[in-house]
Amino acid sequence: DAKTTQPPSMDCAEGRAANLPCNHSTISGNEYVYWYRQIHSQGPQYIIHGLKNNETNEMASLIITEDRKSSTLILPHATLRDTAVYYCIVRVYNNNDMRFGAGTRLTVKP
Amino acid sequence: GAVVSQHPSWVICKSGTSVKIECRSLDFQATTMFWYRQFPKQSLMLMATSNEGSKATYEQGVEKDKFLINHASLTLSTLTVTSAHPEDSSFYICSARDWGQGRSGNTIYFGEGSWLTVV
């Protein structure tokens, strides 16, 4: 699976949009982009995934660049409960496991 | 989304004893489950892949005789830490792959994690 690069930390004001970038310049054509988050002392929570089209669900939006070398996870109205470590993972759809990098520690401030 | 449950949430055991952690997929069948370990302020590290009805596949450097994995049914995998030592104290997390229909198909869901403290 392709490697990803994320900033180690970000801050966001409560109520504002949080935009978390991820670089995956070596992504292959059959690899999806997955986003998970881990709130302190809990297991990771699935957020969203996509291949090449932008995706949106009740939690977030995923914007993937046309060349698929980078993506952005958008939390439209961040709350204090969104404070967590966010992981961007690139993985072949039928591949078994999910391997985690260091992620981005997002802190939402009042 | 699908639900994966772990038990116990936290456990304290004496050095030299064994402890078992259960991982259940509550609303889907999981032929494959995964076990991770996470030390404080570090990312998750994959330990092994648990396959229903067959032997688990361990990552390099993980002792299979120390971390026994059993996947006896389509909804349950167990991790047994044998002869536990203080350095085994960690946050253990399982996950399971949901092959269900729709966009969530082939998404991996994680349990709540289990804190192990060996004293």
pLDDT digits (tens, 9 = 90+) for B62-84: 999 999 999 989 899 999 999 99
Which pairs count as long-range contacts for B1-5, CB under 8 Å and 24+ apart, including other chains? Answer: B1/A46, B1/B104, B1/B107, B1/B109, B2/B26, B2/B27, B2/B28, B2/B96, B2/B98, B2/B100, B2/B104, B2/B107, B2/B109, B3/B27, B3/B109, B4/A43, B4/B94, B4/B95, B4/B96, B4/B109, B4/B110, B4/B111, B5/B111, B5/B112
Average pLDDT of chain B to the nearest whole number: 90
| Chain B residues lying within 8 Å of A43, measured CB to CB | 4, 6, 93, 95, 110-113
pLDDT above 90 (res A20): yes
Assess B28–A contact: CB distance below 8 Å, yes or no.
no
The residues in B 46-75 lying below 8 A from A, measured between CB atoms, are 46, 49
Asked if omega into A44 is within 30° of 0 (cis), the reply is no
Q: Give residue-wise pLDDT tens across range B103-119.
A: 555 678 899 999 999 99
Decide if A97 and B46 are in contact by the 8 Å CB cutoff: yes
pLDDT of amino acid A109: 97
Would you mind telling me the total number of residues written for chain A in this entry?
A: 110
Q: What is the predicted pLDDT for the residue at A61?
A: 98
Q: What is the mean pLDDT of residues B6-27?
A: 95
Most A-contacting residue of B35, B44, B57 (CB-CB within 10 A), to test interface = B44
Question: Taking 80 as the threshold, does the pLDDT of residue B23 lie above it?
Answer: yes
Give dist(CA B116, CA B91) in Å, integer.
6
Give B53 to chain A, closest Cα distance, Å.
Answer: 16
Mean pLDDT rounded to a whole number for chain A: 93
Q: Which of B93, B109, B111 sits opposite A46 (nearest CB)?
A: B109
